[in-house]
Chain A
Amino acid sequence: MDYYRVLGIDPKLQLNLNELQQLFYGRSRELHPDRFARAEASVRDAALQESSTLNDAYRTLRDPLQRAEYFLKHRGFDIGEQGTKEVPPELLEEVFELNMALEELKDGDESARPQLATARDHFAALLAQSDIELDHLFAAHDATPGEEPLKQIRGLLNRRRYIQNLLRDVNGYLSN
């Protein structure tokens, strides 16, 4: 995996962000095109390619969600948008009620507003919870790497993305 290689670290899912930043700064000092301004064209081009990979790597790995997606992709998982359209079974009931409230608000029934606000808070809490869960799954995978924890991570990512889209919609309606 290029992104781990260019930063010189083992491919793990749990990363210390402070350490990651120090590694990034250190590697930037070595690879940045500024260091090769007087070199010949081929060297300059290599520095450009390598430092863009480094920057792409840091941007991806410092974000747990992007990091997980990158990791899954390189382990052969399909991380496309499909799977995020289906309602996660445990959320079916809540989503059904939420949609009802949304319809009421659209029809001008302002009494649905408090219910929506409650729903929003609930989904925001779920989102925060899923971040903690994700970190646990990262740890589990790093301890015993394998297919099973990765599958769970993919499931959680899909669920998380679904909640996030929902939250965005609700916020949109509430602010109108």
Chain B
Amino acid sequence: MGTFQIDFGDAAQPERIIGIDLGTTNSLAAFMDLTGPEIIAAPDGARIVPSVVALLEDGSLIAGNAAKARLAQHPLETLYSTKRFMDRAASPLKIGNRELTPPEAGARILLELKNNAEAFFGEPITKAVVTVPAYFNDAQRQATKDAGRIAGLDILRLVNEPTAAALAYGLDKRNSGTIAVYDFGGGTFDISILKIQDGIFEVLATNGDTHLGGDDIDSLLIQIAIEDVATEWGAPISDDSAAVETLRQAVIKAKEQLSFALFANIDLEYNGKRYQREITREILERLIAPLIERTLAPCRLCLADAKLTHEDIDEVVLVGGSTRIPMVRKAVENLFRSKPHTELNPDEVVALGAAIQAGILSGEVKDTLLLDVTPLSLGIETMGGVVTKLIHRNSTIPASETEHFTTAVDGQTNVLIHVLQGERELVKDCRSLARFELTGIEPVPAGLARIEVKFLIDANGILNVSAKDTRTGKEQSVEVKPSYGLTDEQVEAMILESLTNAESDIRERQVREARVESDRILGALESAKQSDAWFELPEEDKAAIQTAHNELLLAYHGDDHRLIQAHMDKLDKASLKLAENMMNSAVRGALKGTKI
């Protein structure tokens, strides 16, 4: 038979949410499969999208593997590790003859992941959970959200990388206890301590350094290698960016080999010249020991903030490519005096966790909940350049604090609030986030105005400010001037033009496909109406089919493919009895040996 497709699948499925690890060196996307989180591979099978952006000769921008392949030949037309500049979101980076802000560069990488996911699922993807270093401040988080907007991705949640890794390890299923996540990546370092109980992941404290990672190890090695090459070749190479980039890749290769071997070769071939130098693990360790030591101070502070000692930590989890270095593992083991978990691929574990968080948001994952914290204290500038803290670091988010402001001069209608983030006492030592201006205050004598300002850090770790005039009860308008980030208007202007087109292309295609399918079903129904089965059908069934038929026709002329699909399914269900009758009469006919 097969006249009618009988499909009881849920027609109007809510839109899929993917999980994304937007890393300094590499980025990955993952989704929640029936059996657990899975990495979304590109059409060519690649699981990793290198966080590299390249400008082509025709002026177009590409990201990922193709961009990375151009690094050595076109170092001035490529950008890498742009995540390190997210705290200066409004300062553009040079790429060839163009300029790109860090969020725009991030958007290119997100777009590559989005395209891969759309090819993978055959449907448009517009919603994502994106991970950020736990120690990212408000500006860096906002810049990441902006990158999503520019790429046409609605970032439903920013989740901290170490917390995502803890989710991926599924430690909640094995036991309850206290775990430390040591996350040493390409550009950032984080340490988080969590308490896990009955599926609740409560972060007790977090610390870190957003400018400390494998990149710093590379720079150390390159500096030495550049001098060495110059001595051997008798000419400096530091002005030749292509030579430096080729050397950088050779150095990284040697560094990676030293995680598994005791010796490695830095092997450089450039313009017909060759340079080879053996490097031992011992030398590498001597060089990087100070960098590793720099990760231990945040670990100790984090333990102290959690009011714990190493004895209270039940398990340690390692995340990030730099934790492959044996010396890093040893340092962590010494500090926490327990053997760390390394079962999951440290490059993939964060993306897998992001997919689980996406599952929590969509409702697919139940009983699991993350309670994360804000990594830095939030305060406002008060008299004498002093910072008054409002929300302390390691407060569970969302967190809020209310402050009251008044006017200092008769008839004053504006109040300026300077918001800062950091642990130090003075404004000059903290990070300026934004200036919020309360405008349109009713002019009254000095000190009479009563403005209540609510500072709220949301579940993404991003500050929201709202204000109310408590004398009039009216909402007070708040104007935000970010200190380093992009304004709303700037982000709006950056939203990729081509992108919105690409999306409408996909939608159009889906509508067209749905209409073709409808044509098939409507045609089949018309011919079924000529059969005996139709005449045997009770009147009420006929009426139900007719109603579903009319509704499908209405949806058919609209542009919502989901609606069309939903009404096709409805018609399918309404005509179940008809399909059954047709099947039976066909069987009867066959038994009698006669044709219908």
Contact = CB atoms under 8 A, between A and B. Distances in A.
Contacts of A49: 400, 456
B458 A55 contact: no
Given A52-B399, A58-B396, 5 more contacts: A34-B370, A37-B362, A48-B456, A51-B459, A55-B396
A34 B460 CA distance: 11
Contacts of B371: 28, 32, 55
B199 to A, nearest CB: 9
A34 B157 contact: yes
B459 to A, nearest CB: 5
Nearest to A36: B361
20 contacts: A25-B198, A25-B200, A25-B202, A28-B371, A33-B459, A34-B360, A37-B157, A38-B14, A38-B361, A38-B362, A48-B398, A48-B459, A49-B400, A51-B398, A52-B397, A52-B398, A52-B400, A56-B399, A56-B401, A59-B399
B398 A29 contact: no
B363 interface: yes
B398 A33 contact: yes
Contacts of B200: 25, 28-29
A53 interface: yes
A37 B397 CA distance: 16
A48 B464 CA distance: 11
Interface string A38-71: 1000000000110111011011000000000000
Q: Which 4 A/B pairs are nearest by Cβ-Cβ distance?
A: A52-B398, A37-B361, A52-B400, A55-B396
Interface hub of A53, A56, A58 (most chain B Cβ within 10 A): A56
B369 A52 contact: no
Contacts of A33: 398, 458-459
Interface size, B (range): 20 to 34
B253 to A, nearest CB: 42
Interface in B380-425: 395-401
B459 A32 contact: yes
A18 to B, nearest CB: 11
Interface of A: 25, 28-29, 32-34, 37-38, 48-49, 51-53, 55-56, 58-59
B257 interface: no
A34 B369 contact: yes
A55 B395 contact: yes
Contacts of B400: 49, 52-53, 56
Nearest to B392: A59
A138 to B, nearest CB: 21
Contacts of B197: 25
Nearest to B391: A56
Contacts of A32: 369, 371, 459
Given A25-B198, A25-B200, A56-B400, A34 B361 contact: yes
**Interface residues of A: mostly helix, strand, loop or mixed?**
helix
B156 interface: yes
B307 to A, nearest CB: 11
A48 B157 contact: no
B363 A38 contact: yes
B365 to A, nearest CB: 10
Given A34-B157, A59-B396, A29 B458 contact: no
Nearest to A59: B395
A49 B198 CA distance: 25
Contacts of A52: 397-400, 456-457
Contacts of B398: 33, 48, 51-52, 55
B155 to A, nearest CB: 11
A38 B17 CA distance: 11
A38 B127 CA distance: 11
Interface string B306-324: 0000000000000000000
A56 B399 CA distance: 6
Nearest to B397: A55
Contacts of B457: 52
A55 B391 CA distance: 12
Which of A28, A33, A34, A38 is the most central at the interface, judged by chain B CB atoms within 10 Å of its CB? A34
Given A32-B371, A48-B456, A52-B456, A37 B399 contact: no
Contacts of B370: 34
Nearest to B366: A29
Contacts of A37: 156-157, 361-362
Nearest to B197: A25
Interface in B416-458: 456-458
Contacts of A28: 200, 369, 371
A37 B401 CA distance: 23
A80 to B, nearest CB: 14
Contacts of B458: 33, 48
A51 B369 CA distance: 13
B425 to A, nearest CB: 14
A25 B401 CA distance: 21
B4 to A, nearest CB: 32
A93 B590 CA distance: 113
Interface string B506-537: 00000000000000000000000000000000
A38 B154 CA distance: 12
A25 B370 CA distance: 10
Nearest to B464: A48
B303 to A, nearest CB: 19
Contacts of B399: 52, 55-56, 59
A174 to B, nearest CB: 19
Nearest to B200: A25
Contacts of A56: 399-401
